[in-house]
Amino acid sequence: MTEPSAGRGPAGGNPGVRVRRVAPAEREAWLRATGLAFSEVPTTELLERDRRLLEWDRCLGATVGNEIVGTAAAITYAMTVPGGTAPVAGVTAVGVLPTHRRRGVLTALMRRQLADVRWRGEVAAALWASESGIYERFGYGVAAPSAACRIATRHSAFRAAPTPPGRLRVLAADAGLAVRLQPAFDAVRALVPGMVPRTAARWADRLAPVPHPGEAVGDLVVGVHEDPAGTVDGYVCYRVQHEWHGPGAAAILRVEELVAADPEVEAALWRLCLDLDLVAEVEARHRPLDDPLRDRLREPRRLRVETRDGLWLRLVDLPAALAARRYATAGRLVLRVEDPLCPWNDGVFELEGGPDGASCRPTRRRPVLRVPVAALATAYLGQTRLHTLVRAGWVAELQPGAAAAADRLLGWPRAPWCPDVF
Ligand SMILES: CC(C)(COP(=O)(O)OP(=O)(O)OC[C@H]1O[C@@H](n2cnc3c(N)ncnc32)[C@H](O)[C@@H]1OP(=O)(O)O)[C@@H](O)C(=O)NCCC(=O)NCCS
């Protein structure tokens, strides 16, 4: 397959628009165009940060004449999928100038980017959406929803006190801490579909973030749990927003990331936050849907949970993606997949999978389910039940009982989660 070339004239019918890789001399203009699409004027520090984080050979610009009017980029990831990892493009920096919106510029960028992703041999693309109405038309579905939760500390008693094996410490966040936190992160990453590795630059961005003007209240503090040998096996990054004018404890603690493979360590890190003096409320965003926090509580109703769409996934090389993951039980499934945007995925496929491996190939057999590619993406990491999507009218059951059988095959014990918002 040859590398996708610069194209003129997107599908949306906008003949003056050209999508191409951004040249070194255009990088600052490209970053500024991305900012302006979000009505932001980046500071010099933010421009520097983005220069460090981006892979410039994966940055696409949509141009009219010499002006960059739209941007899209991708990051190269090995994403955890059920039972393994798979090459996945992390889509980021998507924006179109307000003066050029609704003329097919995003459509042109998405088409070119999907062609690039396929050419690179990546099986899927993933993204965080600014709005939930944009990406389904490009084949993306919500594969790893996330939860935002909030609880008043005075109603946060656990059923049982945690019994972690080591000790807790609180430290000022510093990029140098990354080498101590990374093994704990990687231990969880190996278990949880949807997680992606972090480079040193991403760790620095996590622990010493460049502030967006007006954002982030309170200093970043890291609570760590050290096992008896002194190794960090879990951590929580948080900020406390103080409130000094009330009659008593009124601060809000915001958990930015809490990671531990050992449930007792995880529970101890929550207690560190919930028992902090002066704190009246603890909030956490981007938590996995199977977070056991509610089930630890004596008063479960006190935890307010809001589910968000989280990570979206687009299966780009459908048979390779389905063959890259493992399946909790052995089984076979014949699917009619609908994918008008990526016609190489549009057809009937036979998936045969189990705990030790999987294969997927085109077939002439009779399909038992008809599935739009975006709907299949929602089930790919093991989260969504196709049976629910049949009831929602999004997936069609062509043989009675097929959706329940598919769910037995596609389901995975650990809920998908992506703590990296890229
Ligand atoms: C969202 C954005 C990228 C869309 O770009 P665009 O060039 O206007 O999109 P297109 O013209 O290619 O639109 C393609 C389709 O998506 C629809 N669409 C575009 N933006 C949409 C939105 N925000 N919500 C719902 N639908 C949207 C269009 O109506 C069009 O639908 P159609 O195919 O049925 O006609 C652009 O408006 C933007 O930059 N917004 C602000 C920044 C942002 O949200 N970026 C996305 C980050 S994840």
How remote is the CA of residue 53 from the centroid of ligand 1, in Å? 25
CATH code at position 165: 3.40.630.30
Ligand 1 nearest atom to the CA of residue 109, by list position: 12
Question: 3-state DSSP call for residue 64?
Answer: strand
CA of 134 to the centre of ligand 1 (A): 6
How far apart, in Å, do the first and last CA atoms of the chain sit?
29
User: What's the pLDDT score for residue 164?
Assistant: 97
Pocket test of ligand 1: the residue of 63, 69, 101 to mutate, having most ligand atoms within 8 Å of its CB, is 101
Are 344 and 260 within one domain?
Answer: no
Find the 96 Cα to ligand 1 centroid distance in Å. 8
Question: What single letter denotes the amino acid at residue 402?
Answer: A
Residue 60 lies in a domain: yes
**Helix ranges (DSSP H) in 136-238:** 178-189, 200-207
Domain residues for the domain of 48 are 7-122
3-7, 205-209, 256-260, 308-312: range with lowest mean pLDDT: 3-7
* Band of pLDDT at residue 16, cut at 50, 70 and 90: confident
Using a 6 Å CB cutoff, which residues line ligand 1?
12, 37-38, 94-96, 101-107, 129-131, 133-134, 137
Whose CA is closest to atom 31 on ligand 1? 102
pLDDT digit string, tens, across residues 224-249: 999 999 999 999 999 999 988 878 88
DSSP-assigned letter for residue 404: H
Task: Supply the pLDDT for residue 88.
Answer: 98
**Residue 329 counted as domain residue:** yes
Q: How far apart are CA 7 and CA 28, in angstroms?
A: 23
* Integer Cα distance of 365 and 358 in angstroms: 18
* Distance separating alpha carbons of residues 422 and 420, to the nearest angstrom: 6
Q: Decide: helix, strand or coil at residue 144.
A: strand
**pLDDT tens for each residue of 164-184:** 999 999 999 999 999 999 999
If you average pLDDT over every residue of the chain, what do you get? 95
Mean pLDDT of 241-258: 91
pLDDT band at 10 (very low <50, low <70, confident <90, very high): very low
pLDDT greater than 60 at residue 33: yes
What is the total count of domains within the chain? 3
187 pLDDT above the threshold of 90: yes
CB 31 within 8 A of CB 50: yes
- Residue 59 resides in a domain: yes
Residue nearest to atom 3 of ligand 1 (CA): 95
- Confidence check: pLDDT of 101 > 90: yes
- CA 250 to ligand 1 center in whole angstroms: 41
> For a pLDDT cut of 90, what percent of the chain falls above it?
93
Does 142 reside within a domain? no
Per-residue pLDDT band at 9 (split at 50, 70, 90): very low
Taking the C-alpha atoms of residue 28 and residue 20, their distance in angstroms, rounded to an integer, is 16
Q: Is residue 148 part of a domain?
A: no
pLDDT reading at 50 higher than 90: yes
Q: Give catalytic residues, as residue numbers.
A: 135, 422
Which pLDDT does position 108 carry in this prediction?
97
**Residue 136 falls inside a structural domain:** no
- CATH of residue 366's domain is 3.30.1050.10
pLDDT of residue 213: 75
Contact 250, 219 (CB under 8 A): no
What's the pLDDT band for 8 if we cut at 50, 70, 90?
A: very low
- Categorize the per-residue pLDDT at 6 as very low, low, confident or very high, splitting at 50, 70 and 90: low
Which is the closest atom of ligand 1 to the Cα of 133? Answer: 25
Contact 333, 405 (CB under 8 A): yes
**% of the chain residues with pLDDT over 70:** 97
Nearest-atom index, ligand 1, CA of 128: 48
Q: Are 290 and 337 found together in one domain?
A: no
Domain membership of residue 415 (yes or no) is no
Whether 11 shows a pLDDT value over 50: the answer reads: no
Q: What is the mean pLDDT of residues 304-314?
A: 97
Residue 87 β-bridge partners: 78
Mean pLDDT calculated for residue range 208-235: 91
* Atom of ligand 1 lying closest to residue 10 CA: 12
Q: How far apart are CA 333 and CA 353, in angstroms?
A: 9
Confidence bin at 215 (pLDDT 50/70/90): confident
pLDDT attached to residue 3: 79
Q: Are residues 342 and 273 in the same domain?
A: no
- Give the separation between CA 145 and CA 154, rounded to whole angstroms: 28
pLDDT higher than threshold 60 for residue 378: yes
Q: Does a structural domain hold residue 134?
A: no
Cα–ligand 1 centroid distance for 285 (angstroms): 26
The predicted-structure confidence for 313-367, as pLDDT tens digits, reads as follows 999 999 999 999 999 999 999 999 999 999 999 999 999 999 999 999 999 999 9
For the cut 60, the answer to whether the pLDDT of residue 7 exceeds it is no
